[in-house]
Homo-oligomer: A and B are copies of this chain.
């Protein structure tokens, strides 16, 4: 019997974990991604706030294929999936499979608001983090030579939408960038002239957290100088303004959107499947799709019900699902089958600022320094690559000791034509 071929579409947390589990087996493993690296998305906001260089949170996937003898990597954009012929179509050629693991993750969901989609920044890709960093620093450069106070304050007003971990962590990191670094860099700008407005539709931040931790986060952000607008929504935007529900207009050139995600475009290539909320693909209890037991969906793309509600779109879910489908493929090859997938909730955490975070795990609740330390260590642990851990740890230590953000570079590409002599 020839080796079975497992194709993994998308090398985020779900795909990576599935690959890792399969790497010790004797199936043929083909990893497909549009990038040649695994991106550690939870730290993208630190790239956007000049805390980390982008290379530190990306790990070259071919570094894995070296160690995994049964694995190969293919840099390709997937253009279709033929479920009946069992073929993945890509711009690099067609890839037949015996088993397919679809783990393409999610994209930002603007809920149909074109004006917001057109003008807001979001954080899914490395280049978006770099663009946002360049933009923030540019706003300060422009403000530093602006005499008109109204224009200046517009340049220094930053609106963040979404009170989940990303919105909270970004708000805190941006505030610290301004207070500890930029206010020293720009003698003509005081931190009091800047505004950070965090807008959340629900009646509290970090809704997944216990009440007292939500309260702690809210208080902490307030004390840091972040304005928190609860039970409010952004409904529109222009290059120089943000419109709130009810009509209030905030003059600002920076709108950061972290208020919604939806399944990646790839979901649309799966013919005949059932879709849940946010375009997620409804899966069976073993994470395969109906009528195609050889095709699995994991992570943000999968609409997997647990106690009647879909599992959240977050890394731990994706990792556990990736591991589960890998193990269940191996089990099937041995004629066994696994019990339905069950998500083991390890809890949630979010860092707010220096020495300050919230964490809820296994019934325990932490806040402040201990939670912050736990956050740092866990993120270093889950980061891929020895060198990346070193670089990140170095940057964090450096920032902690010297209140510095060395990566405050405006690297916007200048496309100047070469002058010919």
Q: Which residues of chain A have a CB within 8 Å of any CB of chain B?
A: 34-37, 53-56, 58, 60, 62-63, 65-66, 72, 74-75, 92-93, 107-114, 117, 122, 125-127, 137, 141, 145, 184-187, 262, 265, 278-279, 385, 387-388, 390-391, 394-395, 398, 404, 406-411, 413-414, 418-421
Report the bound CA distance from A141 to B141 in whole Å: 39
Q: Closest 7 A-B residue pairs measured CB to CB? A: A62-B185, A53-B55, A127-B413, A75-B141, A387-B406, A36-B410, A117-B418
Whether B418 contacts A107 by the Cβ 8 Å rule is: yes
Point out the residue from B278, B395, B418 that lies within 8 Å of A108, measured CB to CB.
B418
**Most B CB within 10 A of own CB, among A35, A126, A186, A409:** A409
Report the bound CA distance from A179 to B55 in whole Å: 22
Whether A145 contacts B92 by the Cβ 8 Å rule is: yes
Return the chain B residue nearest A262 by Cβ.
B421
Whether A114 contacts B420 by the Cβ 8 Å rule is: yes
Point out the residue from B62, B265, B410 that lies within 8 Å of A75, measured CB to CB.
B410
Whether B414 contacts A34 by the Cβ 8 Å rule is: yes
A149 → chain B, closest Cβ, in Å?
17
Whether A411 contacts B127 by the Cβ 8 Å rule is: yes
Q: How many copies of the shown chain assemble into the complex?
A: 2
Return the chain B residue nearest A60 by Cβ.
B408
Whether A390 contacts B385 by the Cβ 8 Å rule is: no
Apart from the given pairs A53-B54, A62-B186, A278-B421, 13 other A-B contacts in the complex at a CB distance below 8 Å: A34-B414, A35-B409, A36-B137, A55-B406, A55-B407, A55-B409, A60-B408, A63-B185, A107-B419, A110-B421, A126-B411, A127-B413, A385-B406
Chain A interface helix/strand/loop/mixed: mixed
Report the bound CA distance from A410 to B408 in whole Å: 22
Report the bound CA distance from A45 to B402 in whole Å: 30
Return the chain B residue nearest A385 by Cβ.
B406
Tell me which residues across on chain B come within 8 A of A54, comparing CB atoms. Answer: 53, 55, 411
Whether A420 contacts B110 by the Cβ 8 Å rule is: yes
Report the bound CA distance from A55 to B55 in whole Å: 9
Whether A409 contacts B107 by the Cβ 8 Å rule is: no
Tell me which residues across on chain B come within 8 A of A387, comparing CB atoms. Answer: 394-395, 398, 404, 406
Tell me which residues across on chain B come within 8 A of A420, comparing CB atoms. Answer: 110, 112-114, 117
Tell me which residues across on chain B come within 8 A of A55, comparing CB atoms. Answer: 53-55, 406-407, 409
Report the bound CA distance from A279 to B419 in whole Å: 12
Whether A265 contacts B421 by the Cβ 8 Å rule is: no
Whether B127 contacts A36 by the Cβ 8 Å rule is: no
Whether B409 contacts A36 by the Cβ 8 Å rule is: yes
Report the bound CA distance from A177 to B359 in whole Å: 43
A-B contact pairs, 19 of them (CB 8 A): A35-B409, A53-B55, A53-B391, A54-B55, A60-B406, A62-B408, A66-B185, A74-B145, A75-B141, A93-B145, A109-B421, A110-B421, A126-B411, A262-B421, A385-B406, A387-B394, A390-B394, A391-B391, A391-B394
Report the bound CA distance from A34 to B412 in whole Å: 11
A64 → chain B, closest Cβ, in Å?
10
Tell me which residues across on chain B come within 8 A of A391, comparing CB atoms. Answer: 53, 391, 394
Report the bound CA distance from A380 to B74 in whole Å: 37
Point out the residue from B66, B186, B408 that lies within 8 Å of A184, measured CB to CB.
B66
Point out the residue from B37, B53, B117 that lies within 8 Å of A56, measured CB to CB.
B53
Report the bound CA distance from A385 to B407 in whole Å: 11
Whether B414 contacts A127 by the Cβ 8 Å rule is: yes
Tell me which residues across on chain B come within 8 A of A109, comparing CB atoms. Answer: 421
Tell me which residues across on chain B come within 8 A of A114, comparing CB atoms. Answer: 420
Tell me which residues across on chain B come within 8 A of A419, comparing CB atoms. Answer: 107, 265
Report the bound CA distance from A188 to B408 in whole Å: 40
Report the bound CA distance from A60 to B410 in whole Å: 9
Whether A421 contacts B34 by the Cβ 8 Å rule is: no
Return the chain B residue nearest A128 by Cβ.
B413
